Amino acid sequence: MLPYYLLRMWRRGGYKSGFSQRFGAVNLPPKNPAKKRVWLQAVSVGEMQAISPLLQALKARGDVEVYLTTTTSTGHKIALDRYGEKSGLTIGTGYFPLDWWAFSARAWWRARPDLVILMEGERWPEHIAQARRRGVPVLAVNARLSDRSYSRMKAWRAVAMPLMQRGITRVLACSEIDAERFRELGFTAEQVTVTGNIKWDVTIPLMREEERVSLRAEIGLGANANELILLGSSTWPGEEDALLEALRAIRAAGIAARLLLVPRHMERRGEVEALLQKQTTPDREDTAPTWHFRSRGAAPGVVDIAVGDTTGELRKFTQLADLVFVGKSLPPHTEGQTPVEAAALGRAILFGPGMGNFREIARRLTDAGAAKVVHNREELCVTAARILGDADARAKMMTASTECYRGNQGAVARTLEIIEKTLG
């Protein structure tokens, strides 16, 4: 599989830095005998943001040092920017080693952790085996099993589960559904605890009004607050096209609105631009809409569509939105991206039926009236136009978002309690 991964790394870029770490080269200070060392592995942007309160709490103990690793260049950049050594939250950040005996053993020999924390869907067999050989406890924190992972684990249960059960000390499931799946796969009741989803505990710094106005103008959406903004949050192939169609439907309904697209992967900017070049406006078939890519600097003027193709700005972009569509959720996509940040910022939310990775969160948001499910692009167009055209309905959804977000917090405290008992 190496040629495939080398191609992916070349396309995404940013992998040259720290490349030797993938082969077990770990550069950490000598272990402090007065402190416990925790090796924390997280991958996605959402996971990196969610671990902030955990890192803050471990730092406050005074007797814990954290080595933070990730597998993607995007995650690595966020880890360096937010949790680098200067922050005091970690003793080092790096890339997770390739999960093969020689590389994993080399990294373990240098890191020497007293506790391993694996976030969400991270389950690396050799890494877990190294922990078991050394008698080091492993906590699966915010643990979840997507539909695809669950079916794969069931198919290969005879091979995978003996290693997982003997290596993973505790599973801290983010929902009762996930907990039940872990139990069905063979984890004992004592191993599995429902702590809730720590992403509900995320705290997002709010921009001042002048900062929001400035950002709107900078990315090309203008400073007119009467023009509404539809945000495509972490979109995947096919969803940008659906959102462009939704923008046409919204404007055809007489609603002044602009579109902010934030693709999940920055390297798709060429694909997104090719799609934009094929578009026409709703009133003139011979006129293309205007657009601007954030990575190209400040917009020269107001455009119809802004593309946020940069890293780490989605939280800011969400604060500009009046309605947020959560990506990777329209067919054929089935897993979904996190809607929690949109809820934390009190936004009206739409997503498709494919929210497998956030099934419980999506259910709570829809039950609260904060979000609506759109099953296809036609429903997306109709529902987006209806919500943006009804200020009262939109305000109710926004209030429900805030209340749902606040009512589901507390997972971090429950998770920390078990981490501290394990360290003790």
Known catalytic residues are: 47
Q: Which residues of 9-45 are buried (b: 16+ CB within 10 A; e: fewer)?
A: beeeeebeebeebbebbbebeebeeeebbbbbbbbbb
Residue 207 phi/psi, 5-degree rounding, is -80, 150
Q: Which residues of 169-185 are buried (b: 16+ CB within 10 A; e: fewer)?
A: bbbbbbbeebbebbeeb
Give the end-to-end CA distance of the chain in Å, rounded to a whole number: 41
Q: Bridge-partner residues for 70, per DSSP?
A: 95
Q: Tell me which residue of 197, 206, 139 sits closest to 167, measured CA to CA.
A: 139
d(CA 110, CA 298): 45
Tokens 């119809």 — which residue?
304
d(CA 92, CA 396): 44
In this structure, are residues 321 and 231 in contact, taking their beta carbons and an 8 Å threshold?
yes
Strands 257-263, 92-95: pairing kind = unpaired
Kindly state the DSSP code that residue 86 receives in the 8-state scheme: G
Displacement of CA 262 from its chain's centroid (Å):
13
